[in-house]
Structure 1
Amino acid sequence: MAKKAVATFSGDKSQLKNVVKCIKMVKSERTGAYAFQEELVPTDEVADYFKK
């Protein structure tokens, strides 16, 4: 049976419980095409991240 590959974030494990991966769609001013911007954001700053 094959082993399952599991992605992990490097760093302190206690800090990761308060982090959310946010994905925002951003339009490029130069080309007009849309791209996805991904970032790890603390849970209490998620609303501020999407207001930018």
Structure 2
Amino acid sequence: MAKKVVATLKKEGGVTYAKVIKAVKSEKTGAYTFREEMVPTTMVQDTLNK
């Protein structure tokens, strides 16, 4: 039986997280790759503006 790791992130009063997926273009090949990050919901706009 699998452990439920996600349940530990949903405690009351804890920090809530959001998954940010950005498309990044490679300078070498011109192909797009996707970069995924888990960031606190308060830092989403800062992460997208980088």
**How many percent of aligned residue pairs carry the same amino acid?**
48
Name the amino acid aligned to 2:22: K
Paired residue total: 45
Q: Which runs of 5+ in 2 are unaligned?
A: none
Equivalent residue runs for 1:11-22 within 5 Å = 12-13=8-9, 14=11, 15=14, 18-22=16-20
SS at match of 1:26: strand
Matched residue, 2:42: 44
TM-score (norm 1): 0.67
CA RMSD across the alignment: 2.5
TM-superposition CA deviations, 1:3-27 (whole Å, max 9, x none): xx8x854xx4335x51000111000
Q: Distance in 2 between matches of 1:50 and 1:40?
A: 12
